[in-house]
Amino acid sequence: MVNNIVIEGNLIKDPEYQVFKKEDGTEFKKTRFTIAYNKSYKENSTPMFFNIEMYNNSADYAMKVLQKGTGVLVIGSLESNIYTDKTGKNVSYTYIKCRNVRVISRGKDYDKSKGSEQVYSTDFELPSDEELERLFR
């Protein structure tokens, strides 16, 4: 089965970073962020919001270069978790498990100290700019 999603959008707020200690004493790092995607360029279009998660080295990368307003192209897989909240209610959480991210624009308040890295890939190479242009324009 194929589970791939490609989405372009802007971060609606700075990424959130968490570090967890595993039972064997090693660390597991996770960064979460949400991007907004506008279906059209009309003034009254309703944006869609997508939760994105990156792990370990890619989580470090996200914290290094991403911030509110950054435009990104995300390639990943659609995932869903079900958990029980504090009130005992089952809650479903759907997100994109990011394999690749490409910075495509910087927000107006971009902090230049974040660096200028553009691409992070966890398990395969991103398509070239020409291939992306052909696929998504």
Strand partners, 20: 28
The predicted model gives 1-21 an average pLDDT of 91
pLDDT of residue 134: 52
Could you give the CA distance from residue 102 to residue 126 in angstroms, rounded to a whole number? 8
Query: Domains along the chain?
Result: 5-136 (2.40.50.140)
- The sign of the dihedral angle between the CA atoms of 39, 107, 13, 60 is positive
Is the pLDDT confidence value at 133 over 50? Answer: yes
Distance, CA of 119 to chain centre: 12
pLDDT tens, 25-68? 888 899 999 999 987 666 777 889 999 999 888 889 889 889 99
Asked if pLDDT for residue 111 goes beyond 80, the answer is no
Q: Are strands 47-55 and 90-105 parallel, antiparallel or unpaired?
A: parallel
Instruction: Write down the pLDDT at residue 67.
Output: 92
Rounded Cα distance between 104 and 77, Å, is 20
| Token representation of residue 113 | 């100290």
Note the pTM of the prediction, 2 decimals: 0.74
